[in-house]
Structure 1
Amino acid sequence: MKIIASLLIGYLIGCFQSAYIISRIKGRLDIRKYGSGNAGTTNVIRVMGWKAGIITFFMDVFKAAIGVLVCSLIFDDILMGYYAGVGVVIGHNWPVFLGFRGGKGIAATIGLLTAVDIRIGLIVIGIMAIVIFISRYVSLGSILMAISIPILMAIFYTDRPQYIVLGVILMIFALYNHRANIKRLLNGTENKLGHKKNLSENEK
């Protein structure tokens, strides 16, 4: 019951869709109808600019961290906080109030990992930053970061299988939501960071 409660609490927090809210307030538009059609940081940057994108990123990071901290305190168990963080990612990706059309959950994943274990959070941030700096592909940085999650969980939490299993689940979520990006990366047609979409363009 504690696991279910944690997932539900996290899910409801995750449904607070930062990109959608920012796009409505700042641009009076639905971000999901522009650019890639994704309600996430990268698409906000391309459609609305860096300022809106950075605000979106930190809002998503903080909401996941809040989910982890709230359930950790309620149940006095960081593992329940971890489950809540996974719930936040699910809510972010598939928000019930927005027809289950959300983002890809990368910023939220970073937030939950940092709240669960700051060492892992800093490592995944480093992986993403280095890959994006070198390649200019946000998607590649996100994909490699996701793949590293269960590996890092296995290194730091060898004796806690649930941590590793949840890490695998987070990786699967990220890879599933980046499946179109993976195809474009393999085809050499993926957009690099800095490529700004026309507001009327939707590549979905």
Structure 2
Amino acid sequence: MLQLISIFIGYLLGCFQTSFLIGRVFNKVDIRELGSGNAGTTNAIRVLGWKAGVLTFLGDFLKAVVAIVLVRIVFDGQAYALYAGLGVILGHNFPFYLMFKGGKGIAATAGVLTAFDYRIALVACLLFIAIVALTRLVSLGSLLLATWIPVGMYLFYRQNIEIIVLGFVFMFLAFYRHKANIKRLIQGNENKLGQKKLT
């Protein structure tokens, strides 16, 4: 029951769609109808500019941190905090008031990892930055970041099967939301950061 409550708290916070709100309030557009159609940081950068992209990342990152901190205050237990993080990702990716069409959850996932365990978050951040710097492929960096999550959970929480399983759930959600990107990566025509024309 506490797991479901934690997910619900996270979901409500995750439904705060930063890029959608920025687009509506400041640019009078629905970002889901522009660029890649994704309500996330990368599309915000491409469509609305770097300032909007940074604000989007911060908003999506912080809502995950708030969810985990809140659940840790209310409930005792590492796993409950991670369930709240899972709820944030579900709320971000599938917001009920936007017909369940949201973002891909990577910035929110970064917030989850940072609030949950800085060691796992640090490796994830370095891995993402290195891949994006070398390839300019945000999707590839995101996928490798997601792959690291269950590995990191196993390395630091190998005695807690529940946390390791949740790590795989986070990875699965990231891969599911990036399925179109994976197809383009395989075909060799994935969009690169800074590229204007989208496929």
Shorter-normalised TM-score: what interval?
over 0.9
In structure 1, the residue corresponding to 2:189 is in which secondary structure? coil
Q: Is the 8 A contact 1:47 1:196 kept in 2?
A: no
Give the AA of the match of 1:159. Q
CA distance in 2 between partners of 1:89 and 1:66 (Å): 13
Residue in structure 1 matched with residue 166 of structure 2 by the alignment: 166
Q: CA deviation at 1:196?
A: 2.5
Contact 1:23 1:29 in 2 (8 A): yes
Following superposition, the deviation at residue 76 of structure 1 comes to 2.4
For residues 125 and 51 of structure 2, the distance between their equivalents in structure 1, rounded to whole angstroms, comes to 20
Q: Does 1:118 align with 2:118?
A: yes
* TM-score in terms of structure 1 length: 0.95
Q: Unaligned 5+ residue runs, structure 2?
A: none
Q: How many residues in Structure 1 have an aligned counterpart in Structure 2?
A: 199
Distance 2:187 2:156 in 1: 36
- Paired with 2:40 and 2:171, the residues of 1 have a C-alpha distance of 17
Contact 1:68 1:78 in 2 (8 A): no
Alignment partners' CA distance in 1, 2:137 and 2:75: 39
- Structure 1 segment 13-92 matched on structure 2, within 5 A: 13-92=13-92
CA displacement at 1:77 relative to structure 2? 2.2
Structure 2 counterpart of 1:13, one-letter code: L
Q: Secondary structure at the match of 1:193?
A: coil
Q: How does 1:131-170 map to 2 (within 5 A)?
A: 131-170=131-170
Q: Give me the identity figure in percent.
A: 51
Task: State the Cα distance separating 1:25 from its structure 2 match.
Answer: 1.5
- Superposition deviation, residue 6 in structure 1: 0.3
Q: TM-score, normalised by structure 2?
A: 0.98
* Match in the other structure for 2:6: 6
1:195 aligns with 2:187: no
SS in 1 for 2:195: coil
